[in-house]
Chains A and B, each alone.
Chain A
Amino acid sequence: MKNSMTTLSITYREALNQGLREALQNDERVFLMGEDVGRYGGAFAVSKGLLQEFGEDRIMDVPLLEAGFVGAGIGAAMAGMKPIIEIMTVNFSLFAMDQIVNNAATLQHMSGGQLNVPLIIRMGSGIGRQLGTQHSHSWEPFYAHIPGLIVLSVGTHEDARSMLHAALQSHDPVLLFEYTMLLNLEKEIATDLPIASLSKAKVLREGKDISIITYGTGVYKSLEAAAELASVGIDAEVIDLRVLRPLDESTFLTSIAKTHRVLIVEDAWRSVSISSEVSARIMENGFYNLDAPVQRLCGIEVPIPYPVHLEEAAIPQKIDIISTVKKMIYRN
């Protein structure tokens, strides 16, 4: 629904759907393959209507065999197609991890540059709605560890609409983490978005007192926290990392040179996480710009429990961000 000439109101789900539709319209080589993407309309209704529009050669339902269809996607990409693979949720990507890590990420290198794998893998991610331990994993750090992969985190509606298009221009395998908790959320986005960057983090809110660095579902939580902090006179800058590999250091280092304080927020477990990496890079290259130690809000190191109060307590919430920032600022 258009509200003005320049913006429209859209859910995250619709934004993803439009991105997919555009990709399929733009390039005959593009096809979508995944469990229930066609007749069912997508496990989260992201691909709803696409089967009817593009036919079953381009919207392919596959059996439950993640290693098999991710491998097939790799083969099709090597042979000149532009496959978009949907793994229903990131939790099931572990079955395909060998294909992703040992083939998609390495074939270019092992072949001495003869081959490349322009494959897109989209995965439903995030924690919430009491889905229980096995359906509540945050595997961004796993994949961000692997040279050869481009790992993107779709934390905003703008990226939900435009990141796939950018990813399809890549000659290398791209993993897109999409966040199912955001699907029904409606936001205003520009009708004419620029081509998304595959290399840059984004400053979503400028501020001078502290840099909140985050990604995924941490983005809107951090923006809301920053808005509340503004009402008590704390001016927080919020950075969406967006590209978890290769990590864009310069954006957050520039921010820290201005704010001198850093809070990193993510759902993934604290140990060996994205925030560990960001923190280490700050130590290496931004240490002398810090007025206080880097602080982190991460997932509590427990298999994510079912009861709602425990689930909520296991990952950073807006209130945690606000209280941690206040502690950091008021310490001085």
Chain B
Amino acid sequence: MDAKKGLLLLYQMLLMRRFEEKAAELYTKAKIRGFHHLYIGEEATAVGVIQTLTDDDIVLSTYREHGHALARGIDPDLIMAEMYGKLEGCSRGRGGAMHLFDSSKKFYGSNAVVSGNLSIAVGMALASKRQKKNNIICCFFSEDDIAKCEFQEALNLAALWKVPVLFVCENNLYATGKAVRYSHTATELEKKGIASSSVDGMNLIKVMQAAHAVVGKIKSTGKPYLLICNTYRFRAYSLFDVELYRAKKKVEEWKRRDPIPQFEQFLLQQQWITENEIAAFENKIKTKIQKALDFAEEGAREPLMQLTKFVYSEI
């Protein structure tokens, strides 16, 4: 890593954080509706993993995907417009906050059903292998999925077929409101039969190092790999959640490990950035988010006569 890259990564994490803070505010004003799942606290995982991927690699995600979409380089204007349900949104407003898609970025989408994308990732990787594309399919999911048979099935198929999937488990310790200890007797989540390792998902540099090594391994062997990023969401499960299941003190403890100040400290120590430059960054991001907001506000609503479009292909 050098100064230039460090600043880019900080910018990405800060953009995610501020973008979602704004989205939460807009949600309370009913500008954004539906279920809304914030990624706040987990930014290092998306940034650390996705920065190792190339443009040819494919990203699949979950319903907590705003961070993945931004890290993949989808324009914040398009994401905000999507959350507003506007025609200019990255899914033409049809998807909403849980269904972001941008095929130009090979972001083949967020799935709002737990485990929905795991086997799809395996199938895409099978196609890549057959087509000799030498790309990888990166599929984010959460520790909730591990209890499900879909997880076992997908990992089994990936291992059996030896296909290039990077499974990224974002272990944020809570499946909705169930702490992981109420769902699994083993606290060790690693799956046998497929190479795996875990990393401190609150530390960007550690995530990057782990992801870099893992992606290299997948590209050289063509085989799948499970990377577990141990992280924590600072905000509620969704904005309907009143968080009866965890103590505020616990959340405050985790906030001391916030990936963004951690990384800022690293950059300051390296003398790659100054406090003033961080403040300038914040201003730049504020402007960018305001622009996204204006773009979404001014966006068009899809005409009613197009209601039944995109059910079947128009040939």
Contact = CB atoms under 8 A, between A and B. Distances in A.
A162 to B, nearest CB: 19
Given A68-B153, A110-B94, A115-B103, A79 B312 contact: no
Nearest to B98: A110
A307 interface: no
B111 interface: yes
Given A72-B120, A78-B120, A148-B312, A65 B92 contact: no
Contacts of B62: none
Interface stretch (B30-38, B125-133, B272-280): B125-133
B310 A62 contact: no
Interface in B273-315: 309-313, 315
A111 interface: yes
Contacts of B309: 113
Nearest to B150: A67
Nearest to B112: A102
Nearest to A109: B310
Interface in A225-284: 246
Interface string B91-129: 111110001011100001101010010111111111110
A113 B310 contact: yes
Nearest to B128: A79
Contact of A110 (B91, B118, B149): B91
B110 to A, nearest CB: 9
B149 A67 contact: yes
B80 interface: no
B156 interface: yes
B120 A103 contact: yes
Contact of B123 (A63, A79, A102, A112): A79
28 contacts: A62-B157, A63-B156, A63-B160, A65-B157, A68-B154, A68-B157, A69-B119, A71-B116, A71-B119, A71-B122, A71-B150, A72-B126, A75-B119, A76-B123, A78-B127, A79-B58, A79-B123, A81-B130, A99-B116, A110-B99, A110-B101, A111-B109, A112-B89, A113-B310, A114-B102, A115-B103, A150-B312, A171-B313
Interface of A: 31, 57, 62-63, 65, 67-81, 83, 98-99, 102-103, 107-116, 147-148, 150, 170-172, 246
4 A-B pairs with the lowest CB-CB distances in the bound complex, closest first: A75-B123, A71-B119, A112-B92, A68-B153
Interface of B: 58, 89-95, 99, 101-103, 108-109, 111, 113, 116, 118-128, 130-131, 137, 149-150, 152-154, 156-157, 160, 309-313, 315
Given A62-B157, A63-B153, A79-B128, 16 more contacts: A65-B156, A67-B153, A71-B154, A75-B119, A75-B120, A75-B124, A75-B137, A76-B127, A81-B127, A107-B109, A110-B95, A110-B99, A113-B309, A114-B103, A115-B109, A148-B311
